[in-house]
Structure 1
Amino acid sequence: FTGGLTVRATIDNEMQPIAANALRRELEQYDRGRGVWRGTRKTLPPEALTSEENWRAALADLRVPRDIDLENQWYPAVVLEVGASDARIGIEGVEEDADGHWIPAEDVTWARKLKVNEETGGTSLGPRAQVAGDLVDVGDVVLVRRMTSDDSGEFIRWTLRQVPEVQGAFVAMDVDTGRVIAMQGGFSYQSSVFNRATQAKRQPGSSFKPFVYASALDSGYTPATIVVDAPIEINTPQGVWRPKNASNKYYGPTPLRTGIEQSRNLMTVRLAQEVGMDTVGSYAERFGVYEDLAPVLANALGSQETTLYQMVSAYAMFANGGERVQPTLVDRVQDRYGRTVYRHDQRICNDCNLTDLPEGQAPRVISNRERVMDPVTAYQLTSMMKGVVERGTARRSVDLGVPTAGKTGTTNDAKDVWFVGFTNNIVAGCYIGYDQPRSLGSGASGGGMCGPVFQRFMSQAVQKYGGGAFKVPDQCVFINIDRFTGARLSDDASGPNVVAECFRQGEEPVFGITFDGGFAMGADLPLVDERATSSRQVTTSTGRKATVGPKATFGTLSSGGLY
C-alpha cells in the first residue's frame, strides 16, 4: 500500500515464545490452583455429532483459541461420549485411534464445575469432580493437550485445559535502545485481542516506590538516610487514612536501603511527605510513568494507574545510568530502493561506517540522548534494587547468576501483582491481575507470582544476551554502612549486615539524622511494637493490697478533649 516499504520489527523471534510461555505457565498454574472448571462454554448440537465428518466441520467453524502451545500444542475437541469414569473426545487435526481418545477420571479431580444460573446470571460451584462426567457433557467443546513424560517425552494421556480467567502481561526491552524484544499482552491473542502490556491501566503498587526514592536521592538524601517506620494517620475527604506495611508491623528508624528492599509502605509515605509529592510527581512524569500524577500521598504507594509498557521503559532508565529511553517496536523503515526513511536508534556511530576495525576494538557509539537522572542517583537506586533481589521481597523467586536489580509490587487486596527487573542490558516486567480487578487471594504477591515469570524468561535471555556488572559512575565514593541501622562502619568491616554504599564525591554524608515526614510524635511513644506492661500489686498506707497499672507516659495522658 505504500510503494514497497520494508518495516523491520524489534521482536526477537527466539525470545517471544519464551516470554509467552513464561507468562502462560504462571497464569495457568494460578488458575488450576483455584480449582474451578469453566471450559470454553461452547457446545455442538446433537446433529453435529452423528459422524466424524460432521463434528470435524462443526468444530472447525467455532471460534476458540488455537494459538496456545504451553508445554504442548492445545487443540479444540468435542466430547463424543461420557462413560462411567472416562470421556471420549474427538480432537481437531488429530486422527482417531482404534480405541478413540479419552479423558480419564484422574485428569479431572483437581476441579469443581462452575454452574451458571441462566435466569439470574449467578454462579455456583459443584462438588469436586470424581469422574470425567462431573465436568463435561456430550457435545461440550473443550481444549486439550498431550501430557508427556518430562524425561522421555513419551505420551501419557490427553488432558483437559482451559484459558485462565486471570490475565496479565509481560514486556522485555533493551535498556540502551528501548527495542522491545518480547511482548505478551495476555494468555492468548485469539481468546482476547486486548493488549494488556500497552492498553491496560493498572495500579503499579510498590513497583512505583523507586521513583519516590529517586526524587529523595536527588534531593540530598542517601541510601543510609534514616526514616522512621511508624504508624501514620492522615485526614482525607473520605475519612482517616491509615497506611500499613504488608506485615502489619512497624520497625522504627530504618535506612532507605532497607526500606526499599523490604518494601516498607510507611517509610515511603513519610519520605514522600518530606520530599513533597509535587517533586515525586515531576520525576514520575519525567520518566514517562504518568502524564500527570495527582499530588496525594497515596500515589507514593502506586495507587494511580499506568501501563506495564511505561513502567518497563522507565526502569530501563535506571539500568542505563539515567539516560532517556524511547521504547519502540520498529527498528527501521526502508523504501523499495533500500534507503532508510526511518531509524529509531539516533545514537552516533562513526566507526560503524568503517569497512574494518583493528582486532579487539569494538565500534564506539556516542550517546546523544537526554539525561533524565544523575548517574550517581541511578547507580544508588540500582544498588538498592539489587538488594531487593538478593535479600528482599524477590529473593525467593529471582536468581539469574548475574547482577540483577528489580522491585516487586502488590496492591491493596492483591488486585494487581508486579515485578519489574533488569540486568545491565535487558529490562523486563510482568503484571498479573483480573481484567475486572478483584483480589487474587491473601497469598498473592509480586515476588511470588511475577518473580517466576521474570526468572523463566531472563534465565534464557541471559544465555543469549549475557549480563555483567552495572557501570559505576566516577563520582561514586564507597563507604561501608550497617544496612539495619545506617551507621558508618570501618573500611575492613564484613558480615551480612555490611553494605558498601555509594555516596556522591565531594558530599560528606551526615549520619544519624532521622526524618519522620513531619508527622510529629511524642518522644516517648513506642516506634516499633506496642508492648503491654503487666500491672503490679502494691501495699497501701492502710496495709491493704491494691493493683495499679503501669507508669503513665505522654501517650496515656488525656488533654480532656481540648484537641
Structure 2
Amino acid sequence: MKKKIFIGTAIVLLGLVTLAAAGALGLYLWAARDLPSFKEITDYNPSLVTTVYARDGEVLGHFYRERRFLVQLDEMPDFLVKAFLAAEDRGFYEHPGIDVTAIFRAMVRNIRAGDIRQGGSTITQQIIKRLLLTPEKSYERKLKEAILAYRLESYLSKDDIITIYLNHIYLGARSYGVEAAARSYFGKHVDELSLAEAAVLAGLPQAPSRYDPYRNPQSAKARQEYVLGQMLTADWITREEYDEAINAPLEYTSMPDPSWKTGAYYLEEVRRWLVNYMSRENMGSMGITLDRYGEDAVYESGLHVYTAVDLDHQRAAEQAVRDGLIASTKRRGWRGPIKKLAPGEMAEFLSSQKDVLQKLASGEWVQAVVNKVSDSGAEVQFGNFEGWIPVKSMSWCREPDPKKAPEQVPAVSDARKVLAIGDVVWVSRADLDAMDDKDKKAFKPSAEGQVPLNLEQEPVVQGALVSLEPPTGEVRALVGGYDFQKSHFNRATQAHRQPGSAFKPIVYSAALDAGFTPASVVIDAPVEYRFGGRVWRPGNFENEFFGPTLFRTALVKSRNTVTVRIAERMGVDQIIRRAHSLGLDAEFPRNLSISLGSVAVTPYNLCEAYTAFARGGTAVEPRMVLAVKGAWGDDLFMSAPDVREAISPQNAYIMTNILEDVVQHGTGWRAKVLNRPVAGKTGTTNDEQDAWFMGFTPYLLTGVYVGFDQLTPMGRFETGSRAASPIWVQYRQAVEESYAPEEFPVPPDIVHVNIDLATGKVADGTGGESKFLPFMAGTQPMTSVIGAVPVGGNETGVSASPLSPEDLFKQF
C-alpha cells in the first residue's frame, strides 16, 4: 500500500514538475517571441555631446540633443561606482543579470500593495529597459527584461555593463551620465568628485526630480545619507569615511556652458561647416563609416572638434566691433527712446528688472526709465535704484548735418531736447576713475544715492571682423555682427558687399604684371563714358583731381579716375583673372566698374585674397577647423595649410610696399599707432553704404567691414578710414604684443630706386619730394619720365581686349 502511495505521489509530483517545466517553457517562449535584439548594446553608441575646442584647449562650445559626455570606467573614482551599486544593485558583480531574491521581495511588496510599486531590477535590467524596452510597468515587460539581461551578461563583461549604465543613466538637470551630472550639480569633472558628492549623484536615479539638489536639497541630503549607509553596511567605506562624507558641506553649482557666448559667430560657422562635412556622401567618399551623418552626427556623435580660434583674439575682436558700431551709431545722432511708458506702467516695468546693479558693475547696459529732466541732465530709475545722466553724456545726440562732420556740429546743451519723462533708454555706468576732475563734476549726481550713468544707444548698423595668420591660414578671430543673440546672420562669411577701394590692390597687382610700375604716371582728371544717352562719370572723394599722378600715389591716395584709366588700358579681363587667382569666388562682369570694387564679396573671402600680399605671392585658404576626432579618439578630419601660387613674390612685395604707404601717408593712417610695419587699404562705396579696412603684417591679417544690412547710406563721413579702421586698430592694439615686430621680406630681383614723386623720374637731388620705390629688376626708370605705359595698344590707351559699349555700361 505504502509503495503504491509512494509511486502515485511520485507520478503526481513528476506530472506537476513536467507541467511546471512546460508552463515555464511556454511562458519563456511567449515572452521571447518578439524580443528585440540586444546585440546592438554590445556596440554602445549613445547620443553624446560634441565639444568644440579653442586653440589652447579651452572649450568654445557644445552641440547636443542629450547632454552626455562619454567617460571610461578607469576615469571614474572607485567610490563613485560603489555608491551607485550600493544604491541600485549591491549584488551586481555576483548575479547573472537578474537577482531572484530582489524580484521575490518586490513581488511580495507589490502583492501587498495591490499594484506594481517596486521592480527589483538589476543594473543590467535597467540598461535593457532604457535601451531596448518600453518603460511600462507590467509582468510581461519584467519577464522580457530578465531574459534579455541574462543573455546580455553572456556577451558583455560586468565592467562594460556598469560603464554603459553610468554613461547612459538620466540624472536630472538635462544631464545624462555621471560626467554631465557632475558638471551640472557640482561644477566639476567626474574624476574631481568627493565621496559626499558621489553619493548625492548615486541617489538620483530612483527619482531625479524628487531628489534634485537645487529644488529639494533636504531630500537630496536624506538620499545621500541612505547611499552612504548602504556603502558602510557593505564595508565599501570605513566609519571615518562615512562620518567625513556625512558632515561634508555640499555646495551646488553648475559648470558654465561657454556655448553661444564668447565666439558665438565663430562657433556657428564651425557648426555649419561640420554639418556639411559630416554628410553621408563626404564620409562615404573617404571610406569612413558612421552611424550618424550630417546634423545627427554633429549633435549626437560626441565629436571632438579642434579649431584655430584664439579666445584672447576673439574677445578683443568682439569688443572692438561692439565699440566701433556704437561709435558709428552715435555719430548719426539720437534715434529716440526704446519706448515710452505711461505713469501707471512704470512700477510694473521697474519690478520686472533683476540684478540691474550687478549688470552695470560688470559693464552691461540696462534699461532705465526717465522720471525727471532738466537742462543739466535726467534722473532715471532702474529696478530699485536711481541714476543720473548728465547732459554731457548726451553730447552725441546732436542733429546730424549732412554737410558737416559730427564733431563740427554743436553738442547738445539741454537734456530736455533729448529726453522726456517716461522715456525708456539704455544706460551704462559711468567710469569716473577714467575721467579728469572737470568731467567728474558733470557726472555728480543731482541727489544723494544716484548712480552716475551714460546715455547709450544700440546700433542698427552692423559689421564684421576676420583675423587670420597668413603663414598657416588659421583664423584666430571671427565676428559676424553686433550681437549673435539678436541676429545669427554672419556678416563675415554670408554678407556679400561691395568692397569699394579695398578691391583696388587687386587691380594694381594685375597692372604691375601688365607693364605698369610704381613710377608710372597716369592722369588724374575727370573722365566720362557715354552710351545711348547714359553717362558714367567716376570721381574721386570730394571730387578733387590732381593731374599727372604716380601709380604708387594713385593707390596710396585712392584715386578713382586713375584706377579706371589703368583698368581701361590693361583690360578688365586681366583684373578678373587676377581676382580669381587670388581666390575671390564672385562672378565678375566685363565692365570697368569692377575696378572700383562694384562686385560684392564677403569679408572672409577678401581676407583670403589679401593673403597673397602678406605671404609674398602664395595665397592660403582660411582655416577654422583644424581637426575632428570621434568620441573614442579616432581621426575623422585633419587639415593642413592649403597653399597655391597666386602672384609673383616681386609683385606681392611691391604691392605690400605701396600698401605700407597707405598706412603711413594715406587713408589707413590710424594704423600707424602700432609703430611697426603694417600694410593696409581702406574701402568706401557710393553714398558710404559700405566701409572697409584691410590691414596686415606678415604674421596677422585682419579685415573689417561696417554697413547696414539693407543698403542704406551711413552718412557722408562714414568712410573706411572713420568707420572701419578704428575697429581694426582697437583689436590689433589688444593682441599685437603677442607677436614680435616683423618686416616684410624682400624677394630677389627687386631694385629700389629713389624716385621724384612729382615726375616719376629718378630723383637728382635738385629738389622736390622723393622716395625709394621698389621695382621688378629691369623695369626701374633710368632718367626719363615714365609715362602711362600702353599695354597691347597705343598711346591713346586702347585696351588689348577692348570692351563693347554694352559691356562698358553694365552695372554702372
The TM-score, its normalising length taken from structure 2, stands at: 0.53
Give, in angstroms, the shift of residue 417 of structure 1. 1.7
Map residues 253-272 of structure 1 onto 2, 5 A cutoff: 253-272=548-567
Map residues 181-196 of structure 1 onto 2, 5 A cutoff: 181-196=476-491
Give, in angstroms, the shift of residue 142 of structure 1. 3.3
Q: Is the 8 Å Cα contact of residues 762 and 781 (structure 2) preserved in structure 1?
A: no
- Please state if 1:90 is matched with 2:390: no
In the alignment, which residue of structure 1 is the partner of 2:760?
Answer: 486
In the alignment, which residue of structure 2 is the partner of 1:456?
Answer: 730
CA deviations on 1:469-520 (whole Å, 9 max, x unpaired) are: 0011122222222233211236xx6998332222223556575342287898
In the alignment, which residue of structure 2 is the partner of 1:512?
Answer: 785
CA–CA separation in structure 1 for the residues paired with 2:510 and 2:732: 29
In the alignment, which residue of structure 2 is the partner of 1:158?
Answer: 453
In the alignment, which residue of structure 2 is the partner of 1:225?
Answer: 520
Q: Is the 8 Å Cα contact of residues 398 and 451 (structure 1) preserved in structure 2?
A: no
Label 1:43 to 1:470 Cα distance change in 2 as closer, same or farther (>3 A): farther
Greater fraction strand: 1
Give, in angstroms, the shift of residue 82 of structure 1. 4.1
CA deviations on 1:81-138 (whole Å, 9 max, x unpaired) are: 44666333224xxxx35xx344455544643799xxxxxxxxxxxx968346952543
Give, in angstroms, the shift of residue 78 of structure 1. 4.3
- Please state if 1:143 is matched with 2:437: no
- Please state if 1:77 is matched with 2:77: no
CA–CA separation in structure 1 for the residues paired with 2:532 and 2:620: 38
Map residues 393-472 of structure 1 onto 2, 5 A cutoff: 393-396=667-670, 398-472=672-746
In the alignment, which residue of structure 2 is the partner of 1:130?
Answer: 414
CA–CA separation in structure 1 for the residues paired with 2:435 and 2:717: 35
Structure 1: runs of 5 or more not aligned: 61-67, 115-126, 348-368, 523-563
Q: Is the 8 Å Cα contact of residues 687 and 715 (structure 2) preserved in structure 1?
A: yes
**Is the deviation greater in 153-162 or in 269-278?**
153-162
> Number of residue pairs matched?
470
Give the residue type in structure 2 aligned to 1:29.
A
CA deviations on 1:332-358 (whole Å, 9 max, x unpaired) are: 2222343433222247xxxxxxxxxxx
Map residues 267-306 of structure 1 onto 2, 5 A cutoff: 267-306=562-601
Bigger Rg, which one: 2
Q: Is the 8 Å Cα contact of residues 414 and 440 (structure 1) preserved in structure 2?
A: yes
Give the residue type in structure 2 aligned to 1:429.
G
The secondary structure found in structure 2 opposite 1:189 is coil
Give, in angstroms, the shift of residue 385 of structure 1. 0.6
CA–CA separation in structure 2 for the residues paired with 1:33 and 1:346: 41
Q: Is the 8 Å Cα contact of residues 321 and 378 (structure 1) preserved in structure 2?
A: yes
Give, in angstroms, the shift of residue 319 of structure 1. 0.5
2:331 to 8, 29, 33: 33
Give, in angstroms, the shift of residue 23 of structure 1. 2.2
Label 1:409 to 1:83 Cα distance change in 2 as closer, same or farther (>3 A): closer
Q: Is the 8 Å Cα contact of residues 620 and 641 (structure 2) preserved in structure 1?
A: no
CA deviations on 1:300-322 (whole Å, 9 max, x unpaired) are: 01112111111122112210111
Q: Is the 8 Å Cα contact of residues 74 and 143 (structure 1) preserved in structure 2?
A: no
2:639 to 344, 361, 375: 344
Q: Is the 8 Å Cα contact of residues 688 and 718 (structure 2) preserved in structure 1?
A: yes
Structure number with higher relative contact order (C-alpha < 8 Å, ≥ 6 residues apart): 1
Label 1:56 to 1:460 Cα distance change in 2 as closer, same or farther (>3 A): closer
Q: Is the 8 Å Cα contact of residues 285 and 292 (structure 1) preserved in structure 2?
A: no
CA–CA separation in structure 1 for the residues paired with 2:398 and 2:540: 35
2:397 to 67, 89, 111: 111
Q: Is the 8 Å Cα contact of residues 538 and 560 (structure 2) preserved in structure 1?
A: yes
Give, in angstroms, the shift of residue 194 of structure 1. 2.0
Give, in angstroms, the shift of residue 419 of structure 1. 1.1
Structure 2: runs of 5 or more not aligned: 1-298, 401-410, 445-451, 798-812
In the alignment, which residue of structure 2 is the partner of 1:371?
Answer: 645
Give the residue type in structure 2 aligned to 1:171.
V
Root-mean-square deviation over aligned CA pairs: 3.4
CA–CA separation in structure 2 for the residues paired with 1:316 and 1:271: 23
CA–CA separation in structure 2 for the residues paired with 1:30 and 1:205: 19
Label 1:333 to 1:247 Cα distance change in 2 as closer, same or farther (>3 A): same
Label 1:417 to 1:271 Cα distance change in 2 as closer, same or farther (>3 A): same
Q: Is the 8 Å Cα contact of residues 12 and 181 (structure 1) preserved in structure 2?
A: yes
In the alignment, which residue of structure 1 is the partner of 2:615?
Answer: 320
CA–CA separation in structure 1 for the residues paired with 2:420 and 2:474: 45
CA–CA separation in structure 1 for the residues paired with 2:433 and 2:349: 36
Q: Is the 8 Å Cα contact of residues 79 and 136 (structure 1) preserved in structure 2?
A: no
Give the residue type in structure 2 aligned to 1:418.
W
Give, in angstroms, the shift of residue 290 of structure 1. 3.8
CA–CA separation in structure 2 for the residues paired with 1:234 and 1:327: 39
Q: Is the 8 Å Cα contact of residues 586 and 599 (structure 2) preserved in structure 1?
A: no
Give the residue type in structure 1 aligned to 2:427.
V
Q: Is the 8 Å Cα contact of residues 755 and 762 (structure 2) preserved in structure 1?
A: yes
CA deviations on 1:238-269 (whole Å, 9 max, x unpaired) are: 71111112242332222211111111111111
CA–CA separation in structure 1 for the residues paired with 2:424 and 2:370: 10
Give the residue type in structure 2 aligned to 1:86.
A
Q: Is the 8 Å Cα contact of residues 618 and 647 (structure 2) preserved in structure 1?
A: yes
In percent, how many aligned pairs have the same letter?
Answer: 35
CA–CA separation in structure 2 for the residues paired with 1:152 and 1:128: 20
In the alignment, which residue of structure 2 is the partner of 1:12?
Answer: 310
Map residues 357-368 of structure 1 onto 2, 5 A cutoff: none
Q: Is the 8 Å Cα contact of residues 49 and 80 (structure 1) preserved in structure 2?
A: no
Q: Is the 8 Å Cα contact of residues 80 and 90 (structure 1) preserved in structure 2?
A: no
